[in-house]
Structure formats: C-alpha cells, structure tokens
Structure 1
Amino acid sequence: MRRLILNADDLGLAAETNEGIERAHREGVLTAASLMTGEAGFEEGVRVARANPGLAVGLHLTLTDGVPTLPAAQLPSLTQRNGRFRDDMAGMGLTLAVSREARAELAAEVAAQMARFAETGLPCDHVNAHKHYHLHPNIAAALIRAAAAAGMRCLRLPWEPGTLVRAIEAEAPGTGEWAIRPWCRFLRRRAARHGLVAPDRVVGLAWSGHFTADRLLGVLPHLPDGVTELYFHPATAGGFSGSAPGYDYPGELAALIDPRVAEALAGTPRGGYAAMLLPNAA
C-alpha cells in the first residue's frame, strides 16, 4: 500500500516558518515537521507542536548554517567566530574525518540537541539533518548511535528517484542519485542494525524551495507503493534571518493548502514517520 509523509523542515527557525508550518497543518495536508533546537524561533516552534498534537514532530539536527545548542566555545572545530556553525560543509566534513577532537565535539552537540528536544516533553517522531548533512559518514554514525540510544525509531535517508521527477519535468536538475542511492542503501542497513527505519524514498530534493502545487499534483499519481516522504519548506514569507536565498517559501505553503492537493490525497494514508513506517507498533 502507498503511504505518505508530508514533512516540513525548519520548525523553530523563525516566526515565518513556525506560522507557515502551523497553517500548512491546520489548513492543509502537512502531517509532520522537523524542529531545530538552537534557533531563535525554537520556543515558538515548541508551542506550535504542543498546540497541534496531530502534527508529528521530530528533530532537525543542525550542524551547519545554524546556531549550536552548546556554547560555541565548546565547539571550536565546528563553529565560526560569530558563534554559528561553519558553513563550509566540505571543509568541515574533512575536519570531522581527520580530527578526533572534532568528532568528540560532534558527538557532544548531537547529544545536546537530542537532550534539548527531550526537555520539551514532545514525543520525537523522527530525526533528520539540516541540508541532509547526515550523509557525511561521521555525522551518520554519530546520529544513528545517538538516535538508537535515545529510543528513536525513524530517520530520513534522502534518496530521490530521478525517474519520478523527470516524469513531471524532463529537464529537472539532478540530485546526484548515482552516488546517493548506494550510500543510502548502506546507511539503511546500518540504521536497521540499530532498530531505525526510513521511508523508501524522498521527493522534493530537486525542487527544494520550489515544490509548487502543480509539481505536487503532477508527482502524486506516479508515487509507487511503500512509504514516500514529500518534504517542504513552508513559510508565510521569505527574507527572514536564516532563510535560503531564492526559496519560494510562500509558494510551498500555498502548495500544502491548495484544495486540489487535499482532494488528490483523499483516501491515501498519510501521517508522521512512525505512523507510516511502524503502523503496527504499540
């Protein structure tokens, strides 16, 4: 059977994302969201989660382009002078690969973000990473170990079948599927050994920040059986602190509240990660 997760990243980033995610859930088809623990909108994001118990909320682990949960002074290998995480993902990835100290900082920050989420009292539906940085081997290893130790059961593995996207737009940009698919297969096996499961595929990578209603309506009939995560970045406006240049945040919100989308999804099981991936769990 086909089951869908409609997830929004960046809950807790800013007032605009928090309001957009709440509207996309209350007025539209959004079923899940991923919470950032170090950003300015964190407390308001927690309020949104508590006010909407039907929204499955997980941890959006942030290790680049964001604010750490631990003091930056405790993370010298991972942060800049301004106290934010480093934005040179390739350079920071190399640091993690060669530096034992950096890996220790990574483990401490992952634990801190998980602890801050736990302090909210919210059930943690899933875990994923900002900018899919958990594709890095050291980050993946740290995340999987910490998630399993915390009792989490679900995570995102960001593989998008190019055939699905090209069925709608033949000229859609590639997402490195040739490399990501085998790596995600490896990570899926590794996660399974720790009791973690992931959706079969993710849709929205090629259209990140531009997942319009027409694209969503176009791809829905092509989705195969199994669990598909469709991921979005809804917000009421762009231009806020931490926003991605060029992203059409209101356009993605419009897609999620479009009545045509709700009609197209009628009768299709949809929910959070755990509800779709572990439907028989107690």
Structure 2
Amino acid sequence: MRRLILCADDFAFSSGVSGVIADLAIRGRLNATSCMSVMPNWRADSAMLDGLPDTMQIGLHLVLTGEAPLTAMPKLAPSGEMPAINPLARAAAAGNLPLDEIAQEIRAQFDRFEEARGRAPDFVDGHQHSHALPGVRDIVLAETARRAPGAWLRTCEERIGAMLVRPFRGKALGSAYHSSGLRAAAAEYGLACNRGFAGHYGFAGDYSEIFPKFLESPGEMHLVMCHPGSGSRAGDAIAAARLQEATALATLPIADIAAERGLSYPA
C-alpha cells in the first residue's frame, strides 16, 4: 500500500516551533520531522524528540541559507550569515559556489545532529531545498552515503499530472525542475528517495481545506512537507502560517483523509 510521510520542516528554527512539532508528533499528527542542527538551540530542543512514537522519523534539515553557519565561510557567508536562496541558486547554476566551504559546513551539521541524537538521521533534506542545487547535491549525496547509508533523501521530483491537480503548481514545477535527476543520482550512491512530493502553497488561506489537496494523486512513498509552529521567532516570514498549520494538523482526521486516497498513515 502507498504510504504518507507527513514531515514537519524546521525543527529547532525556534524552541517554540520545536515544542509544537514535538507535541503534534506525540499525538500522532506527524510521522517525520526535519531538524536544523545549525541552530544554537538545537542541542536543548533535541531532547523534545526523546520518547516519540516508533513511527516517527527524525531527519537532518541541512541549512545553507539565511542562518549563521557552524564553520568559517568567508566566501559564502562573509557577513556571518549565509545568503538567501535566490543568490545561492544563481551562484550554483553558474558554478560559482565555494564547494570546499559547503562540504565542511555540511559535515559540521551532520556532526552536530549525531552528537545530539547519538545516531545518524533517518533522512536528509535541505532548507529551501538547497540540498538539490548543482554542486551541493554531490556533496550531500556523498556525505549521506558515508554517514547515513540507510537514510533516504528528499527530492521534489514529481509527475506532471500529479502537480497539476494540487495547489500552487508553479511552485511545485519549479522545485521539481531544480531537483531533476536527484533520484537517479541518489541511486548511484545506493540511497533511496521519496516517490511523490507535495506541500507547496502560498502560506495563506485555510490550511484545513488546502491540506487534503496535497494528497491527490499520491506517489508510493508520498512525502508532504509542512511547517507548523508557534510563530514565536522575530522576523519569521511565515509565522502566521505556522500557527494556522499547527491548529489544522491538531484537528484534521489525517489517517482518514490519507486512507480515502489509498495511503497508509502512520507508516
């Protein structure tokens, strides 16, 4: 049977976000979360992940945008903060990324995850999907294969027909394009990827009405990203949406919605 992986991104974005994600996980409202080990509160927040259901997968959310790095990055982050996604993507497309700095930073983020959790991540992805960028993806695949050979990788690749029946098809098509070839590249390293990806929307509107549309035309290992939280961090551009998502996910009959579309959950 096809299965749904409902993944809350951005664990450790703030302790408030972490607390909301952990609470939803305890209540069976999520079965995966992707953790920002780069954040200063990560070590303390990681304790919230102890004792979660066995169905809960805990992954590493590699960060190369918008935050302070763990390592010295004089070329990528001369101001002490990593760039936004658009300039990072442009530099990647032009082959102008300092890949040596990025490799060192990715290793450090793996280290910090393992130091807190005592094991490798169940899966690996990237903040704003930066792990799929040219040059970066090769580093991520090699490091994952070495450090977490049993992990799977997030890819935004999806069937055209499936994207067209879901919200914000433009965002989905763009992400799929930038992830193009990632599944095949991962297979060369012996790594699996999700099959089916959704969760794009404009961070506005009634999430209770939007969410079921993410499950239309699902893949075999259908990954839906979400961003619940408390909205407690200053400058959080999607703070209001995090609250809306948290409220909806706490009450939606997720297993029933999934079953109606031929998906098992949790799984």
What's the TM-score bracket when you normalise by the shorter of the two chains?
0.7 to 0.9
Q: Structure 1 unaligned runs (5+)? A: 277-282
1:151 offset after TM fit, Å? 2.6
Cα distance change of structure 1 residues 151 and 167 upon mapping to structure 2, 3 Å threshold: closer
After superposition, residues 55-66 of structure 1 pair within 5 angstroms as: 55-66=56-67
**Which residue of the partner structure matches residue 131 of structure 2?**
134
Do the aligned residues in 1 keep the contact of 2:229 with 2:239 (CA within 8 Å)? no
Asked whether 1:13 is paired with 2:13, we answer yes
SS in 2 for 1:132: helix
1:88 offset after TM fit, Å? 5.7
TM-score in terms of structure 2 length: 0.85
1:46 offset after TM fit, Å? 0.8
Distance 2:233 2:76 in 1: 24
Cα distance change of structure 1 residues 117 and 214 upon mapping to structure 2, 3 Å threshold: same
Query: 70, 74, 79: which is aligned to 2:77?
Result: 79
TM-score in terms of structure 1 length: 0.81
Asked whether 1:224 is paired with 2:225, we answer no
SS in 1 for 2:228: coil
Q: Work out the percentage of aligned pairs sharing the same amino acid.
A: 26
SS in 1 for 2:264: coil
Q: Which runs of 4+ in 1 moved over 6 A?
A: none
Query: 235, 239, 244: which is aligned to 2:237?
Result: 244
SS in 2 for 1:40: coil
**Which residue of the partner structure matches residue 279 of structure 1?**
none
1:161 offset after TM fit, Å? 5.0
Amino acid at match of 1:197: A
Distance 2:90 2:194 in 1: 25
Cα distance change of structure 1 residues 240 and 225 upon mapping to structure 2, 3 Å threshold: closer
Do the aligned residues in 2 keep the contact of 1:128 with 1:156 (CA within 8 Å)? yes
RMSD: 2.8
SS in 2 for 1:24: helix
Amino acid at match of 1:157: T
Deviations, residues 233-262 of structure 1 (Å, cap 9, x unaligned): 0102x2514622465101111222114334
Amino acid at match of 1:112: A
Residue correspondences, number: 262
Amino acid at match of 1:151: A
Structure with greater contact order relative to length (CA < 8 Å, sep ≥ 6): 1
The answer to which of 207-216 and 125-134 deviates more is 207-216
